[in-house]
Structure 1
């Protein structure tokens, strides 16, 4: 299926690895010109070079700290004529209420919760002025299948789900669509480390997963690309779960 994305300009945050890097690749395959933001400049430059060579598109690296207001403002102003924003950066730590202190909680939310909201605020105004645009928030299943052992993440994800629905419920009046994606366990470096720890304790970390595996980053990225495309032009204010059915059994 041609997603009709050729020539569009997309900004992906947290793009140096995992779902962000996979999303950048899918969009580049579809002919998008991509702007990739993350803190790891070396990884970004490597990915940008590979995407340019493989797909003949424009690709730009933006090494930024998305917790910093000035970096967010520079990033938003440095990407002209933006058609698609994929908010993806985040590293909220696990732990119960007594294990996540005040500083850790706020540090995490500055990136994933307030980072999403503040960058969306900057980009949405420009999309509204130009009369079109799509914002995709990559959130996470813990916002709907809440977990006291991941309380900062569950709370932050739930907030972003509400933010996505509230903004996306009226955004088509401005010509803008706002949607969300809730992945379950995905085979990223972070999840692999957690699974390796479980395996060392003697447990089978894949036993509870549908099909005995976590999702591949590409599977989530394909959904993000579809939602960002004109093939999904009447979709706004929704959060789509991709977890193999895990949340349906909660």
Structure 2
């Protein structure tokens, strides 16, 4: 299958590292012109170089905090249209339910949920007019398996699945597709950082430590390891392709079989 995204402009939020960067590189490799986003100019600059190296068209950097209404408005002003919108921006933080204050619930809501709402609300109408477009929300298997160690994160991921489905139905009969993608445990920089103390203590390779983490905390995993960021990105690139034109309103799993359902 040859995926050709030449002539398409893609915006990938939170794309200076991890799954977001892998998605940006994957879209660029397929020919898309990619707008890379992050909050720090130096990180954006490095990511732009990496994405440009992976593709045929130079990537564009946009430095800004999309976890605020003002930040989203500034991005929309700078880049008023796109063909592909990847709502990847998100945060996670293990914290017991009784220790999560109102401010944390609000912060997760603004960053994980409202960033995607605001950008989709801005970019989808033009996609509908053109009868062409792709919107993807990067959710998580935690949308269905709510992690007791971070209920606020699980809540935000469930909300993304709901929004993606509702927006897909809002765009019924058009050439615009809207989907959510549900990664399982993925060996991104975030997970590596979380597992670093355990790795240093054991002296084992990070992949082995990650596999042990998966089996302890997600024992229903079928692949019995953490996924790579590229494995998640491959699914997202496909959903953005012309070949995925009949896939919309779906919650697509790249969870390694963690969710125990058929």
TM-score by length of 2: 0.88
Name the structure 2 match of 1:107: 107
Name the structure 1 match of 2:206: none
Aligned equivalents of 1:67, 1:139: Cα separation in 2: 16
Name the structure 2 match of 1:27: 27
* Residues 60-83 of structure 1: per-residue CA shift (max 9 Å, x gap): 100010122122112123225411
Deviation, structure 1 residue 150: 1.4
Name the structure 2 match of 1:225: 237
Aligned equivalents of 2:228, 2:213: Cα separation in 1: 16
Structure 2 runs not aligned, ≥5 long: 203-208
Aligned equivalents of 1:89, 1:68: Cα separation in 2: 12
**Secondary structure of the structure 1 residue equivalent to 2:181:** strand
Q: Is the contact between residue 94 and residue 152 of structure 1 (CA under 8 Å) also seen in structure 2?
A: no
Structure-to-structure mapping, 1:92-171, within 5 angstroms: 92-171=92-171
When the two chains are superposed, the root-mean-square deviation of aligned CA atoms in Å is 2.1
Q: Identify the range of structure 1 (58-67 vs 71-80) with the bigger mean alpha-carbon deviation.
A: 71-80
**Secondary structure of the structure 2 residue equivalent to 1:61:** strand
Q: How many residues align?
A: 250
**Secondary structure of the structure 2 residue equivalent to 1:117:** helix
* Residues 118-165 of structure 1: per-residue CA shift (max 9 Å, x gap): 111111122223322110000111111112221001111111111111
Q: 1:141 to 1:47 in 2, by over 3 A?
A: same
Runs of 4+ in 1 over 6 A off after TM superposition: 200-203
The answer as to 2:252 corresponding to 1:240 is: yes
The answer as to 2:210 corresponding to 1:213 is: no
TM-score by length of 1: 0.92
Deviation, structure 1 residue 92: 3.0
**Secondary structure of the structure 2 residue equivalent to 1:248:** coil
Aligned equivalents of 1:38, 1:206: Cα separation in 2: 28
Q: Is the contact between residue 171 and residue 236 of structure 1 (CA under 8 Å) also seen in structure 2?
A: no
Deviation, structure 1 residue 95: 1.8
**Secondary structure of the structure 2 residue equivalent to 1:107:** helix
Q: Is the contact between residue 86 and residue 135 of structure 1 (CA under 8 Å) also seen in structure 2?
A: yes
**Secondary structure of the structure 2 residue equivalent to 1:169:** helix
**Secondary structure of the structure 1 residue equivalent to 2:116:** helix
Structure 1 runs not aligned, ≥5 long: none
Q: Identify the range of structure 1 (230-239 vs 143-152) with the bigger mean alpha-carbon deviation.
A: 143-152
* Residues 6-65 of structure 1: per-residue CA shift (max 9 Å, x gap): 221100000000000000100111111001111122121112123334433031100010
